[in-house]
Structure 1
Amino acid sequence: MSGNPLPASKLARTILLTALLGSALLTTTDILSAGASPSAETTCLLLLPLILALQVLHSAPDSSRAPLGRKCVTLAAQVLLTYLPLLLFRPFWTTTAAYLAGSLLLLLPPRAAWPLFGLVGLSMVIPTALDGGPLVESIRLAQVSLLIGFLLYGLARLAELVTHLHAVRGELVRRAVTAERLRFARDLHDLLGHSLSAITLKSELIHELIPAQPTRAVKEVDEVLSIAERSLADVRRVASGFRDLSLRQEVTSARSMLDAAGIAVQAKVDLGPLAPVVDTALATTLREAVTNLLRHSNASRCRIEALEVEGVIRLLVENDGVDAVHHDRSPYGGHGLGNLRARMTAVGGRLESGPWAEGTFRLLAEVPAQRPSSTTRAGG
């Protein structure tokens, strides 16, 4: 972002530089109209660009984060360029104190900057008093110095803030893109992992049925085609951002898959209407649980329960046949449960999984009950 600043950043810097040049022009006018000797005018006009350069350096974005040694050196140089000429040419050099006042606010911590800022303003009373001028003129010079210094400080901070906001906006855009990519990958894993596991299981069953039960094999082929069509629809829903699923439909699908695998299923669903975001999160959790069961266990029985208890939706999936030494050799495996935990956390719920009593494996998801009228469409 810094190498190619956006128009708002350029505009803020342009306004700041214009104000600095305007203040320098005001000082130049004071020098030329003061009637000083040619040598005095020449000296002041040569020193003024140095002060202006220091002020531009101090007004740069993040100048307050510069090393302490560098800040001390540049501030000391600006103090000398402000007060030494003031001792010699005080009638027309007082406006340069505004630069110093602004630099103090830009570079120093507030606890030290504001007292010194006020001290610079008070110091502008002294030159006029030494020349025997009226007190009102001394106060006016002090006010002008502080006002211009505060204005330069405000413009520099505004330019820095605009630049920072554009940088933050760019970072937010990058994070949003990353989050959407993760959402897309997670949804593909959750949706297609289940469907592809079902197709694999059905295909193995068809291979066994063809010699002995061709009629049933044809029926299973029809189911494989149906699963493939649903998988295509899932991919399209993920790509378009609509991913609402039904827990009740997933229970029916899970029962069909587990029956085909020869696993005894005990399913119990006692739920009222659910908000789409909760329904989708629980349906996806059941999909992943069944997929893991088929891939990573030798289960003979499985229990599925979806109940509402005291305002909390509880989904329980429990199976036997846990393989303690199983290791998924696929380099792309191992993200399913992490995705599910992220989904549960997003809807204010939690997920527990792991070995349970008597060689069983249990997955428990809990999420506060939400009704359809109080929730929008499910998000990633």
Structure 2
Amino acid sequence: MMDSHDRSGSADESRGGRPGAVAPPGPVHHLPAPRIARTVLVTALLGQALLTTTGILTAGASPAAEATGLVLLPALLALQLLHSAPSGNRVPLRRRCLTLALQALLTYLPLVIFHVLWETMAGCLAASLLLLLPRRAAWPLYAAVGLSVLVPALLQGLPLLQSVHLTDTTLLTGLVLYGLARLSGLITHLHTTRGELARQAVTGERLRFARDLHDLLGFSLSAITLKSELVHQLIATQPARAIKEIDEVLAIAGQSLTDVRKAASGYRALSLQQEIKAAQSILHAAGLQVRTEGELGALAPHLDTALATTLREAVTNLLRHSNAAHCRISVARHDGVVRLLVENDGVDPAYHNPAPHSGNGLGNLRTRMTAIGGRLESGVGNDGTFRLVAEAPVRKPPETSAEPRDIMVPRNGSAA
């Protein structure tokens, strides 16, 4: 019977995930933070437009002038929103210059009618210049827009301090709108990046699970197949030994199920010493002469698991792809480096599995060893002996790469 935990795990897997997995975030425009940042920016622009509208309606201008101002104002707001979009500075420079020129016309031409009442809109132009142009051109033009509002104020006869106040207001408005637009863009970019990282994490988890299944089930299924064939041969002549082999098959199958569950939950620790004992049992059952050398003692979990996985894959390849009669397994520790050597005879140098999914065990092992700062070498010597050597430092380096490095092939052989 499947217990409730297994059933819930199966339900999660049927939906494309696993228990405890976090799904990648949805589209950015559906998230609250970018939406709030955009709302703050639009609210600030509407507040700016409201101040200008109030000034126009209370200035005592003619109805035609008021209508002109109320028509031009939405056009200016639309241009400002266009320039404030996160992708605004990625459009071609020529198009940006055209829209900036249009905004400049809508900013300065109404000054002829409304004078200083329209100067508040110069802050929007200043913000657009900072958003769309390269820094070398943007900041001088930003300062020029601030200084340009002095001219209408002084021509209208306003005091110098009041004119300076208008300049200061224009520059501050430009900075505020620029900051709000940048904030909105940064939040959008942050959430987009977060989504990409989540998708990469999901992809990495799938690759990890695929590697673990390959490493776990490849060895276990080979061992079960081998021992089942042995049982078939022994059951008529040596039933007692056949029963013992069946018990070992059941034990291997039970351990495989446990390992697969651990792999699915993201935790799988293996012991090199236990794998050496398991390899001896499997290889003896296959009729090979096995010699083991060395004793390492306790190892760090990451190193123990990596070397145990390497030995398991080496034994799996030996059983699948060779007619070996002898195998040697050697472990040693020297100058802070642990070394695992697996040698066997009976290798066909011309062997090649044409199946499209024949496995990528050695590639997985190189990835694992590189991830802990180690290396993996394999090849067939002149004497026809296949050698696999895995080395790794006892202490895991603080920064390691998950990508495999170029591995040097032994001088007396070629890579497997």
How many residues in Structure 1 have an aligned counterpart in Structure 2?
372
Write the deviation string for residues 237-288 of structure 1: whole angstroms up to 9, x where unpaired: 2223331110001011111111111222121132131111110111011000
1:121 alignment partner, SS class? helix
Paired position in structure 2 for 1:378? none
**For 1:186 and 1:230, how far apart are their aligned partners in 2?**
18
Deviation (angstroms), 1:327: 2.1
Q: Pick from 66, 78, 84: which aligns with 2:103?
A: 78
Q: Pick from 152, 163, 172: which aligns with 2:188?
A: 163
Q: What one-letter code is carried by the residue in structure 2 that aligns with 1:299?
A: A
Paired position in structure 2 for 1:190? 215
**For 2:29 and 2:358, how far apart are their aligned partners in 1?**
41
Taking the TM superposition and a 5 Å limit, the aligned residue runs for 1:286-365 are: 286-365=311-390
Alignment check: 8 A CA contact 1:271 1:308 kept: yes
Paired position in structure 2 for 1:273? 298
Paired position in structure 2 for 1:180? 205
**For 1:330 and 1:260, how far apart are their aligned partners in 2?**
27
**For 1:91 and 1:3, how far apart are their aligned partners in 2?**
40
Deviating more after overlay: 215-224 vs 296-305: 215-224
Alignment check: 8 A CA contact 1:278 1:347 kept: yes
Paired position in structure 2 for 1:138? 163
**For 1:309 and 1:258, how far apart are their aligned partners in 2?**
28
Paired position in structure 1 for 2:253? 228
Alignment check: 8 A CA contact 2:37 2:187 kept: yes
Write the deviation string for residues 137-184 of structure 1: whole angstroms up to 9, x where unpaired: 221111111101110111111111111111222222222222222212
Deviating more after overlay: 34-43 vs 10-19: 34-43
Deviating more after overlay: 213-222 vs 358-367: 213-222
**For 2:96 and 2:366, how far apart are their aligned partners in 1?**
49
Identical columns (%): 65
Alignment check: 8 A CA contact 1:51 1:78 kept: yes
Indicate yes or no: 2:112 matched with 1:87.
yes
**For 1:91 and 1:259, how far apart are their aligned partners in 2?**
97
Paired position in structure 2 for 1:52? 77
Paired position in structure 2 for 1:237? 262
Q: Pick from 156, 173, 178: which aligns with 1:148?
A: 173
Paired position in structure 2 for 1:21? 46
1:270 alignment partner, SS class? coil
Deviation (angstroms), 1:191: 0.8
Q: Pick from 112, 119, 126: which aligns with 2:144?
A: 119
TM (norm. structure 2) is 0.85
Alignment check: 8 A CA contact 1:348 1:367 kept: yes
Deviating more after overlay: 96-105 vs 343-352: 343-352
TM (norm. structure 1) is 0.93
Taking the TM superposition and a 5 Å limit, the aligned residue runs for 1:57-68 are: 57-68=82-93
Flag the structure with more relative contact order, 1 or 2, with Cα contacts below 8 A and sequence separation at least 6: 1
Write the deviation string for residues 16-68 of structure 1: whole angstroms up to 9, x where unpaired: 10000001111112222233333322222211111111001111122111122
Alignment check: 8 A CA contact 2:28 2:191 kept: no
Paired position in structure 1 for 2:23? none
Q: What one-letter code is carried by the residue in structure 2 that aligns with 1:202?
A: K
Alignment check: 8 A CA contact 1:281 1:344 kept: yes
Alignment check: 8 A CA contact 1:248 1:269 kept: no
The unaligned stretches of length 5 or more in structure 1 are: 375-380
Q: What one-letter code is carried by the residue in structure 2 that aligns with 1:159?
A: S
**For 2:341 and 2:76, how far apart are their aligned partners in 1?**
73
Q: Pick from 121, 132, 150: which aligns with 1:96?
A: 121
The unaligned stretches of length 5 or more in structure 2 are: 1-25, 399-416
**For 2:202 and 2:111, how far apart are their aligned partners in 1?**
57
Deviating more after overlay: 320-329 vs 289-298: 320-329
Q: What one-letter code is carried by the residue in structure 1 that aligns with 2:196?
A: E
RMSD: 1.8
Q: What one-letter code is carried by the residue in structure 2 that aligns with 1:17?
A: V
Deviating more after overlay: 345-354 vs 276-285: 345-354
1:358 alignment partner, SS class? coil
**For 1:335 and 1:34, how far apart are their aligned partners in 2?**
79
Indicate yes or no: 2:282 matched with 1:257.
yes
Q: What one-letter code is carried by the residue in structure 2 that aligns with 1:290?
A: V
Alignment check: 8 A CA contact 2:28 2:192 kept: no
Deviation (angstroms), 1:329: 4.1
1:93 alignment partner, SS class? helix
Paired position in structure 2 for 1:207? 232
Indicate yes or no: 2:391 matched with 1:366.
yes
